[in-house]
Amino acid sequence: MKTDSLFYSLFQHLPGLIFELSGWQVERPQDYRFQSVELKQTAFRLDGLFTPPEGDENSPLLFAEVQFQPDEGLYGRLFAELFLYLRQFHPKNPWRVVVIYPNQATEQTDARHYQGLLQLPEVQRIYLDKLPDCPQDSLGLRLVRLIVQDAVKAIATAKDLAGRIKPGHPDSADTADLLGLIETILIYKFPRLSREEIQKMLDFTYSDLKQTRFYQDVLGEGKQEGRKEGRQEEAQALVLRLLPRRIGLLSSNQNRRVHTLSLEQIEALAEALLDFTHAEDFEQWLASQSNSSDFEPKR
pLDDT (tens digit per residue) in 73-113: 999 999 999 999 999 999 999 999 999 999 999 999 999 99
Mean pLDDT score across all residues of the chain = 79
Whole-number Å distance between alpha carbons of 29 and 14: 9
Whole-number Å distance between alpha carbons of 262 and 277: 23
* Complete domains list, the chain, with CATH: 3-131 (3.40.1350), 149-211 (no CATH), 216-290 (no CATH)
Segment 40-53 mean pLDDT: 74
- Would the pLDDT of 286 be above 60? yes
Whole-number Å distance between alpha carbons of 227 and 264: 14
State pLDDT tens for residues 218-239.
Answer: 444 434 444 455 667 777 877 8
Helix axes 179-189, 195-202, angle to 10 degrees: 120
State pLDDT tens for residues 153-194.
Answer: 888 888 888 877 765 544 444 545 677 778 778 877 887 877
On whether the pTM is more than 0.75, the answer is no
Q: What's the pLDDT at 228?
A: 53
